[in-house]
Amino acid sequence: MKMNIIHFDKLNSTNAYGLEHFEELSHGDVITTDIQLKGRGRFDRVWSGDFSDDIYMSIIIKPDNSDFPFPNLTQYLSVVTNRVLNRDYVIKSNIKWPNDILFEGKKLAGILSEGKIINGRLAGVVLGIGINVNREVFDDLPNAISLKNITGKENDKNILIETILKEFESGYAEFATDGFLSIMEEYRMMCRFNGGKLKLTASFNDGDYVFERINSDGTISVRDERNDIHKIISGDIQC
Ligand code: BTN
């Protein structure tokens, strides 16, 4: 996989750009922007910034195998990103299932993948990530934190982008064939469930549960108050 960065000073959304230009873009192209005016988050949240200090990027993925593990792609990127943050910035960030990157419960990075359907079939995805790098103040986002807030110093966002992309590329072939199993052990170590109690929203079975396990397909199993086990495929958790 050859990764090729296409940079803009300002875009509405790197994901939207990737989807609009999907056909002319190649597998491995990476859209980045300094300023993102109408960034999209999971569950219709907003992810924008005009500080030019943070990372907004989207990777174009056009798999050539029909059994490509699309559902686990955001988890793959979360492991790669968290690995770089833990190793190179020596911070104890972790993953909140399925793919948020948190530091002491506050959000440091978010990931959103959006599929591109062409002629009725999934042709690929635009895999977007936003990382709070050098922003210091989050007025209306009390639950957000930046790398600068954590490390106390400015960090070169281009070095962080390049390191993440290098790491993404190096494990990609194995992920494309083996799927979640290629990252399962590392993902399980990085995932935090804070004692086990969790509140599930944006899913079919919203409610309060106790965490049981991370399954070998990247889903989680949770236990309700009657001790029934539920397998959760998607959703948002507070824990
Ligand atoms: C989340 O809600 O946690 C996901 C946030 C994803 C934001 C990134 S920033 C780059 C890319 N372009 C977008 O419009 N969104 C994603």
| Spatial separation of the C-alpha atoms in residues 233 and 24, rounded to whole Å | 32
- Identify the band that residue 51 occupies on the pLDDT scale cut at 50, 70 and 90: low
- Identify the band that residue 44 occupies on the pLDDT scale cut at 50, 70 and 90: confident
Look at residue 141 in the predicted model and tell me its pLDDT: 84
| Spatial separation of the C-alpha atoms in residues 190 and 238, rounded to whole Å | 16
Task: Convert the pLDDT of each residue in 130-151 to its tens digit.
Answer: 999 999 888 888 899 999 999 9
- Pocket probe for ligand 1: among 48, 50, 81, 112, the residue whose CB has the most ligand atoms within 8 Å is 112
**Nearest CA, atom 2, ligand 1:** 41
Task: Convert the pLDDT of each residue in 55-72 to its tens digit.
Answer: 999 999 999 988 999 999
Look at residue 129 in the predicted model and tell me its pLDDT: 98
Q: Is residue 25 over pLDDT 90?
A: yes
**Nearest CA, atom 10, ligand 1:** 56
**Nearest CA, atom 9, ligand 1:** 130
Q: What is the arithmetic mean of pLDDT over 161-173?
A: 98
Identify the residues whose C-beta falls under 6 Å from ligand 1. 13-15, 39-42, 45, 47, 56-58, 100, 110-112, 128-130
**Nearest CA, atom 7, ligand 1:** 130
Please give, one letter per residue, the 3-state secondary structure of the chain. CCCEEEEEEEECCHHHHHHHCHHHCCCCEEEEEEEECCCECHHHCECCECCCCCEEEEEEECCCCCCCCHHHHHHHHHHHHHHHHHHHCCCCCEEECCCEEEECCEEEEEEEEEEEEECCEEEEEEEEEEECCCCCCCCCCCCECCHHHHHCCCCCHHHHHHHHHHHHHHHHHHHHHHHHHHCHHHHHHHECCCCCEEEEECCCCCEEEEEEEECCCCCEEEECCCCCEEEECCCEEEC
Q: Is residue 173 over pLDDT 90?
A: yes
Q: What is the arithmetic mean of pLDDT over 96-102?
A: 96
Please indicate, yes or no, whether the overall pTM of this predicted structure exceeds 0.85: yes
